[in-house]
Amino acid sequence: MKMELRYTTRFRIQYRKANKDIQDAFSQIVELFLEDPDNPFLRNHPLKEKFAGYRSINVTQDWRAIFKETRSGNAENNHFLLNRNP
């Protein structure tokens, strides 16, 4: 099944504001995610409460990529949001 990534407007803004190290880390994590979304290094896990239905993967120790998986025909879509833990 083909995987397609889509980025929210909020993600694009957060990504542009993030420093180069975070942007580079995200690029590496996305490559790993596309190869194997269940790789233990990503710590891919479902979120709860107000984020129920979303999942999270680690970008760095402080940063997470939050995404929602959807299916459209034969493609799996992942909508990403970048978030920094307090």
Average pLDDT, 10 consecutive residues per value, the chain (86 residues):
78 90 94 92 93 91 86 60 60
Which residue range(s) make up the domain with 53? 2-84
Question: pLDDT value at position 28?
Answer: 96
Q: How many domains does the chain have?
A: 1
Question: pLDDT value at position 67?
Answer: 87
Question: pLDDT value at position 9?
Answer: 86
* Distance from chain centroid for Cα 58: 8
Question: pLDDT value at position 70?
Answer: 76
Question: What type of residue is 71?
Answer: R
What is d(CA 78, CA 81) in angstroms, rounded to the nearest whole number?
Answer: 10
Question: pLDDT value at position 74?
Answer: 55
Please tell me the pTM assigned to this model.
Answer: 0.79
Q: Which of 5, 19, 2 is nearest to 63 (CA)?
A: 19
Question: pLDDT value at position 41?
Answer: 94
CATH, residue 79 = 3.30.2310.20
